[in-house]
Structure formats: C-alpha cells, structure tokens
Amino acid sequence: MVLEPGEEPVQALTEFARAHDIHAAQITAVGAFTDAVVGWFDREKRDYQPISVEEQCEVLSLVGDIAEGDEGPAPHLHVVLGMSDGQTRGGHLLRGHVWPTLEVVVRRVRPSLNKVYHPDLGLALIEPEQRHTS
C-alpha cells in the first residue's frame, strides 16, 4: 500500500488489516513524515514514554507485524527516523503524518499471530500456537 500526504500510518494499517481480513503479516516501509511520535517502553511504568519529532523526517526503516489482539488485527511498528542534521530518532511508532509518501509492503504469514496481554509486563505479546521444546 502507498500512503498519501497527511495519512496516519498506524490508523491506515489497522483499517487495511481489518478490511482485508489480515490476521498475521510482516510489514516493512520507507518514506517520510512531517511529524511523528515514537515511544520508548518504560519497564517501571509499564507504558510507552513519548518522544516527539516535530520536524520533517525520513523514514529510514519501518518494520513490524500485524497480529490478532482483543480488538481485532492491529499493527505493531518500530521506526528509525532520519533528522535534517543526520541524527536519528527511533522507537515504537505511536503516530505520524505522512509527507510526501509512505511505501508499505505487507506480507501475509502463517500460522496466525495472536497477541495476549500480560499484566505483569504491561504489554500484549505474540503467543506462539505451539511452543517448541528441545
């Protein structure tokens, strides 16, 4: 999929996954944002601490997955953003606004990916259908 100026990628990918009945996928993307908010997970607070990027930035790398959660399929995205001075910002993509484009490749995978919330961690994690034992 190709996102256009102003689109918000987390919302767009959530809608895409639900519209196309995608419950397990791998995601990669490149492009640029006018602004973004990435998150760093604070283990003590069990929540993402926002890191705001208030300038045009290049999406140097965006990787993630789509997995089935309590509310249906949802993306989990990590991003590295390139700043005008050559520095980078990165983390869990909480939100962003595309400009001029975001070129996204969504690859369905098997088996299905299911996320289960772990209150002790404060996170929903993928639970394998079968655990391998050695």
Q: What is the pTM of this model?
A: 0.89
The full set of domain ranges for the chain reads 2-127
> CA 81, 84, 89 angle in degrees (round to 5)?
25
Backbone phi, then psi, for 87, in 5-degree steps? Answer: -75, 170
Q: pLDDT by residue (tens digit) across 36-60? A: 999 999 999 999 999 999 999 999 9
Scanning the structure block, which residue is given the tokens 């919330």? 117
Q: pLDDT by residue (tens digit) across 63-94? A: 999 999 989 999 999 999 999 999 999 999 99
Top-level class of domain 2-127: alpha beta
